[in-house]
Amino acid sequence: METTIVLEKEAVENLLPQKFPFVMVDRMFAYSETSLISGLNIKKDNIFVDQNIFLEAGLIEHMAQSVALHTSYQFFLKNETAPTGYIGSLKDIEIKKLPEITDTIQSTITILQEFAGITMVNIVTTLNDEEIAKGQMKTVLAK
């Protein structure tokens, strides 16, 4: 996938259920039915920044919101309102490095399985093409 910005900050924020100051995705680089590449430029005022470091909780929230963006964008393309989604489980989360303010991270989500509103995804987060976090997440859509 290429890294051209498909959606900028305002469009992404309109698709996500989270609102400022809890938005952890500010761009979408690529989308397909089975994958998405999202990004976040880490700013000093981010609620998950401590001593200029983006904390583990922020990385995991960024990963979760990347999954939410994929789901919301699918519904947007069908002119439908996206239902609320929840994290069902996290599996094999590995955080290798924490980014700092002014860094821009990218997460690639790949749908592994989707059935009856339950989605299992693989997520890899990079900083300057270096893998800094990865894992799997199961999300559940509210009925």
Walk me through the domains of the chain, giving residue ranges and CATH numbers. Answer: 9-141 (3.10.129.10)
Query: What 3-state class would DSSP assign to 85?
Result: strand
Looking at the predicted structure, is the pLDDT value of residue 2 above 70? no
Rounded average pLDDT over 116-134: 96
Spatial distance between the Cα atoms of 36 and 49, rounded to a whole number of angstroms: 25
3-class SS shares of the chain: helix, strand, coil, % to 5: 20, 45, 35
Q: Looking at residue 83, what is its pLDDT?
A: 86
* Mean per-residue pLDDT of the chain: 92
Looking at the predicted structure, is the pLDDT value of residue 1 above 50? no
Q: Looking at residue 8, what is its pLDDT?
A: 87
Q: What pTM was estimated for this model as a whole? A: 0.92
- Alpha-helical (H) ranges within 1-143 are 9-15, 56-77
